C-alpha cells in the first residue's frame, strides 16, 4: 500500500519523462543524495533501468570519452576470464563465452581477456598467501595479466571492465581486495578508464 500510494502521488505530479535533454525534480533530488555517498571525485549520475543496459552505456561512454579526447582508436576493452556482464550485445561481448552467449557469437565483438583472481583454482597454480597477486601483474605470469595486456594494447584500450570483488555467475569467485586495488592502480598508470560493473 505504501508503494502504491507513492506511485499514485508521483503519477499525479509527473508520470514519465525520457531523460533526453530533460530532467525532473525527483531525479535531481536522488542524484544529489547519491553524490553525497559515493567516493570523492564522482560528480555525475546517469540513470539506467537494468544492469545490462548500465554496462552497455558505460562501454559507450568510454568509447565516446576517447573519441571526444581525440583518440578514436581507443575502442578495445579488456575484461576478465569468467566474467558475466549482462545480456545486451556489448555486455555479452565483455562476458566470457558460455552457453548463454554462444548462439550470439556473430553479433559479439572481440574483447581481450585477462586472468581473474580465481584463487581457489589459480590459473598460475599459486597460493594466495604467497602469490603477491601475480595473476594481476606478475612478471612470470605470462601474457594474460592485466599489466601485460595494458602494455601490449596501450594505445587502443578504451576501458577495463570488472565485476568488483565477486564474479557471481562464474561460481562465486571472491577476489582478494588487493586485486581490485591493483586494477585501479594499473588503469591509472596506463591512463585508461575502469568500469566497475
pLDDT digit string (tens) for 30-44?
999 999 999 999 999
Integer Cα distance of 77 and 159 in angstroms? 5
pLDDT at 127: 85
Q: Model-level pTM?
A: 0.86
Task: Determine contact, residues 55/195, Cβ cutoff 8 Å.
Answer: yes
Integer Cα distance of 30 and 39 in angstroms? 16
Sheet holding 112-114, edge to edge: 112-114, 76-80, 157-162, 193-196
Span 159-170, average pLDDT: 91
Q: Looking at the predicted structure, is the pLDDT value of residue 88 above 70? A: yes
Closest CA to 176 of 139, 141, 126: 126
Integer Cα distance of 112 and 114 in angstroms? 7
- DSSP 3-state assignment of 74? coil
- DSSP 3-state assignment of 194? strand
Q: Looking at the predicted structure, is the pLDDT value of residue 107 above 90? A: yes
Closest CA to 137 of 117, 156, 157: 117
Confidence of residue 162 (pLDDT cuts 50, 70, 90): very high
- Residue 194 C-alpha from the chain's centroid: 7
Q: Looking at the predicted structure, is the pLDDT value of residue 140 above 70? A: no
Question: Euclidean distance between the first and final Cα of the chain, in Å?
Answer: 33
Span 50-67, average pLDDT: 96
Closest CA to 78 of 148, 133, 126, 135: 148
Integer Cα distance of 176 and 157 in angstroms? 25
Task: Determine contact, residues 63/96, Cβ cutoff 8 Å.
Answer: no
Checking DSSP bridges between strand 173-174 and strand 166-167, what pairing results, if any? antiparallel
Q: Looking at the predicted structure, is the pLDDT value of residue 65 above 90? A: yes
> Count of CB atoms within 10 A of residue 74's CB?
22
What mean pLDDT is reported for the chain? 92
Amino acid at each position: 500500500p505504501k508503494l502504491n500510494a507513492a506511485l499514485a502521488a508521483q503519477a499525479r505530479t509527473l508520470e514519465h519523462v525520457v531523460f533526453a535533454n530533460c530532467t525532473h525534480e525527483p531525479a535531481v533530488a536522488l542524484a544529489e543524495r547519491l553524490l553525497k555517498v559515493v567516493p570523492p571525485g564522482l560528480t555525475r549520475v546517469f540513470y539506467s533501468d537494468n544492469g545490462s543496459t548500465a554496462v552497455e552505456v558505460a562501454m559507450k561512454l568510454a568509447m565516446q570519452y576517447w573519441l571526444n579526447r581525440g583518440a578514436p582508436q581507443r575502442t578495445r576493452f579488456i575484461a576478465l576470464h569468467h566474467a558475466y556482464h549482462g545480456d545486451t550485445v556489448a555486455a555479452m561481448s565483455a562476458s566470457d563465452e558460455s552457453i548463454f552467449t554462444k548462439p550470439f557469437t556473430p553479433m559479439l565483438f572481440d574483447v581481450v581477456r585477462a586472468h581473474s583472481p580465481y584463487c581457489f583454482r589459480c590459473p598460475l597454480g599459486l597460493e594466495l598467501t604467497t602469490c603477491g597477486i601475480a595473476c594481476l601483474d606478475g612478471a612470470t605470469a605470462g601474457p594474460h595479466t592485466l599489466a601485460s595486456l595494458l602494455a601490449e594494447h596501450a594505445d587502443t584500450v578504451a576501458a577495463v571492465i570488472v565485476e568488483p570483488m565477486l564474479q557471481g555467475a562464474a561460481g562465486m569467485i571472491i577476489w582478494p581486495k588487493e586485486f581490485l586495488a591493483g586494477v585501479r592502480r594499473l588503469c591509472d598508470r596506463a591512463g585508461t578508464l575502469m568500469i566497475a560493473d
